[in-house]
Amino acid sequence: MEEKKFNQIGVSFKGSGSYVPDQILTNQKISKKVDTSDEWIKSRTGISERRISSLGDNVTDMGYKAALNAIEKANWDVNTIDLIVLATSTPHDLFGSAPSIQAKLGASNAVAFDLTAACSGFLFALITASQFLKGGNFKRAVVIGADQLSSFVDWNDRRSCILFGDGAGALAIEATNEFDNFIGFNMRTDGERGSFLNLPFKNDRDSIIDNIDFLRGGFSPIQMNGQEVYKFAVKEVPIILKKLLKETNYSSERVDWLVLHQANQRILDSVGDKLKIPREKILSNLEKYGNTSAGTIPLMIDEAIKNNKIKQNDIIATSGFGAGLSWGAALIKWG
Ligand code: UT7
């Protein structure tokens, strides 16, 4: 890497992009596969349908399309991008999918790597990239959240399969020495409670030769204790957001938009209530996409910008939470 140092103090948000596969799986269709109903899923989660990847929609493809979108909005020459961080738990290549996205974009000057933190992944990646920018090492970064959980869902488990879908989003962020629109952040992990939500290694034993065993690569479907994850989210997310608002001297009235990881409408409403943020400020699109893991937050931001909801200088309080268990929050000003 070429040695560069910029005299920069802050981060500016320059563009957003997103992509979802065309295939739509409605609640009605799921109820032909498992014992559930549109009414049950909608009332317990707010979800009506989700997108499912088919060939040509893997994490690299989706991440590339979302990133290209964000780069076009930012009006950047791809050669000026220094960093690409891809948040995903479902890479198309376990060695990392970010380099393939870098190649597809032709962003040959960018360093590119994956970051895994499940549903907190996008937020953790955004925080990571922002620290590189503020540290003076990089000027322009693309942060992508993309997941293809449909490949790892147990489609016979009605307690979890109803929640998830596939999709991707991306933000283009730039270092600046004029202001700082990345106002603050907080991150937490509690591995003790990790068993509430897993996509575990299969541990299939096989033999190489004589007495030498090895474990064949592969993953078991998602295992989830829905009630515990629910309780965790409605307790911890308000706490971390309140702490962040206090530390940054922002009252919840100053928040224009609450952009939470799109897990369950009841979680979104409960967090909003605890922060005294009115429903009209809580952005939600999970009805159409379900939980796209690392994809939800940038997908939501991109949609809200396209719909003229999020505007220049709006204050966004955002929080990601999920497997790990991990959770975090960031306060940003758009633009
Ligand atoms: O990124 C984080 C990802 N994970 C999450 O966000 C999960 C958070 N948790 C949740 O969203 C909720 O816990 C669920 C939506 C998963 C479940 O809702 P719930 O209100 O917590 O339901 P429950 O697990 O308490 O189950 C209530 C009943 C049970 O029946 P019994 O034991 O009362 O007879 C379940 O067997 O609902 C049954 N049930 C279903 N019925 C119809 C569970 N799943 C279904 C289903 N359709 N899909």
pLDDT in single tens digits along all 335 residues of the chain: 455 556 778 999 999 999 999 999 999 999 999 999 999 999 999 999 999 999 989 999 999 999 999 999 999 999 999 999 999 999 999 999 999 999 999 999 999 999 999 999 999 999 999 999 999 989 999 999 999 999 999 999 999 999 999 999 999 999 999 999 999 999 999 999 999 999 999 989 999 999 999 999 999 999 999 999 999 999 999 999 999 999 999 999 999 999 999 999 999 999 999 999 999 999 999 999 999 999 999 999 999 999 999 999 999 999 999 999 999 999 999 99
Quote the pTM value: 0.96
Name the active-site residue from 137, 261, 264, 285: 261
Instruction: Give the DSSP H or E segment for 224.
Output: strand 223-224
For residue 67, what are the CA distances in angstroms to 14, 172, 254, 326? Answer: 12, 8, 30, 25
CA distances from 15 to 12, 42, 181, 195 (A): 10, 32, 13, 36
Beta bridge partners of 25: 50
Give the span between the Cα atoms of 242 and 193, in whole angstroms. Answer: 22
Structure-token pair, residue 228: 């515990």
For the record, the structure tokens of 14 come out as 């320059």
Give φ, ψ of 192 to 5 degrees. Answer: -60, -30
Cβ pair 214, 207 in contact under 8 A: yes
Is the Cβ–Cβ distance between 163 and 291 less than 8 Å? Answer: yes
Q: What is the token pair recorded at 173?
A: 């962020």
Which domains does the chain carry?
A: 10-180 (3.40.47.10), 183-193+222-333 (3.40.47.10)
Distance of CA 190 to the CA centre of its chain: 19
Q: How far is the CA of 227 from the centre of ligand 1 (A)?
A: 7
Atom 38 of ligand 1: nearest residue by CA position: 159
Q: Whose CA is nearest to atom 11 of ligand 1?
A: 264
- Ligand 1 mutation pick, 36, 197, 227, max ligand atoms within 8 A of CB: 227
Q: Which is the catalytic residue, given 58, 69, 119, 285? A: 119
Which DSSP state fits 221? P
Give yes or no: 92 in active site: no
